[in-house]
Structure 1
Amino acid sequence: MIGPEIDRLIQLLAKLPGLGPRSARRVALHLIKRRDSLMAPLGAALAEAAAGIRTCSVCGNLDSADPCHICTDDRRDPSLLCVVEEVGDLWALERTGAFKGRYHVLGGTLSALEGVGPDDLAIPGLLERAARPEVREVILALNATVGGQTTAHYISDRLAHCDVILTRLAHGVPVGGELDYLDDGTLTAALRARRNV
């Protein structure tokens, strides 16, 4: 019923996170209807991104420059190193504007079941960066998942000999959260991480 070009477009869109076959059809139709104003510029932007985006050789961020703009920004505090699992986590922290240090993207978490070991991630580079004299604090901003916690424990053990302060993000009740709607793990973490008022 549809041509191979449209079918290929739908198949590729369906591979994007959050889009199933139905959503991909709707997006494809929307793009086709707005060929000149949306589809052509989107295609050009995708081609430019494919040709120009690189992985930063220092921190693992994605940028058009290597080293990335964060790593070369002299206004950032080189004594703070924030460790994240993926680039999306780095972008989420940057959106807040609350962190003014440097980052290190691991590229995932340790997983014995999936065969992901320390050498499959950017952990050796992290250990090297954390041992530098200018680094005073390493912040583990890893997800509160089994993989994130396993990776955090591994990194903690490996950095025990370094002269750095090792911290992690607080876990617990989100701002605006109601206790009755929170899961047991979140409530337990919130109780354990309580502090003076």
Structure 2
Amino acid sequence: MHYPEPISKLIDSFMKLPGIGPKTAVRLAFFVLEMKEDDVFEFGKALVNAKRDLTYCSNCHHITDRDPCMICEDTSRDKTMICVVHDSKDVIAMEKMKEYRGLYHVLHGAISPVEGIGPEDIKVAELIKRLQDDTVQELIMATDPNIEGEATAMYISRLVKPTGIKITRIAHGLPVGGDLEYADEVTLSRALEGRREI
């Protein structure tokens, strides 16, 4: 079906978002058309402001509206630990837990030769530079438990090992409330490796 150009452009814009297919894009476009004009302007303003007013912390590379970010600026945080994550969403997930009180380093990706992403394409060099002042005693690798995340963790650990900094990896295994019978072999293997005394 042929839509008027403004609707077509709106549909095309929604389809650029991850996980939004043609049907959902059409539904969202028509939802926007039914919204009050003030709400549409607020929505548009929120999009523009998020793009314009947010930046990345020059220290940890977490998304922020000021530099350095609130986490790096917080003097009560443990500066001897850095948790290495793929992206800012991982920092937010860790912060919701309210148990980790160290610093972060956001890589903005993972090493993936298949996709042509090497260590120079993510924030590895910036991490190594942060480790040169001898403050950090432990590097916690919290990259995703997939091939790319494991490759990234291994690459960084090989670079950092000679410095004497302790390198740890977050545990992987069965989720709380999960069923053993539905877990794949790799997950079960990791759960067994990460077992602890009770």
* TM-score bracket, shorter-length normalisation: over 0.9
Query: What stretches of structure 1 of length at least 5 have no aligned partner?
Result: none
The answer for the alignment partner of 1:14 in structure 2 is 15
Residue ranges of structure 2 left out of the alignment (5+ in a row): none
User: Per-residue displacement from partner, 1:64-83 (whole Å, max 9, x unpaired)?
Assistant: 11221211122221111000
Query: Where do 1:37-116 residues align within 5 Å?
Result: 38-116=39-117
1:185 corresponds to which residue?
186
Write out per-residue CA displacement over residues 24-69 of structure 1, whole angstroms, 9 at most, x where no aligned residue. 1111111221133532211011111121111111111111112212
Amino acid in structure 2 at the alignment position of 1:55: Y
176-185 vs 87-96, which moves further: 87-96
Number of the residue aligned with 2:31: 30
Provide the C-alpha distance between the structure 1 equivalents of 2:168 and 2:29, rounded to a whole number of angstroms: 45
CA deviations 1:82-117 (Å, max 9, x no partner) are: 000112212221222222111101111112222222
Secondary structure at 2:70's aligned position in 1? coil
Question: Which residue number corresponds to residue 151 of structure 1?
Answer: 152
Matched residues in 1 for 2:133 and 2:77: separation?
Answer: 16
CA distance in 2, matches of 1:116, 1:157: 18
| Paired position in structure 2 for 1:124 | 125
1:37 and 1:82 map into 2 onto residues whose CA distance is 42
- Specify the SS of the correspondent of 1:131: helix
SS in 2 for 1:71: helix
Contact 1:77 1:102 in 2 (8 A): yes
Structure 1 window deviating more from structure 2 (40-49 vs 67-76): it is 67-76
2-side partners of 1:157 and 1:34: how far apart? 54
Q: For 2:28, what is the secondary structure of its paired residue? A: helix
Aligned-residue sequence identity (percent) comes to: 38
Shift of 1:132: 2.4
Deviation at 1:189, TM superposition (A): 0.7
TM-score normalized by the length of structure 2: 0.94
Q: Distance in 2 between matches of 1:102 and 1:87?
A: 13
Kindly provide the amino acid, as one letter, of the partner of residue 105 in structure 2: H
Check the 8 A contact 1:76/1:102 in 2, yes or no. yes
SS of the aligned residue for 2:113 comes to coil
What letter corresponds to residue 110 of structure 2 in structure 1? T
Within 2, Cα distance between the matches of 1:75 and 1:43? Answer: 37
Q: Which amino acid aligns with 2:5?
A: P
Q: What's the Cα RMSD here?
A: 1.4
2:70 and 2:168 mapped to 1: Cα distance? 25
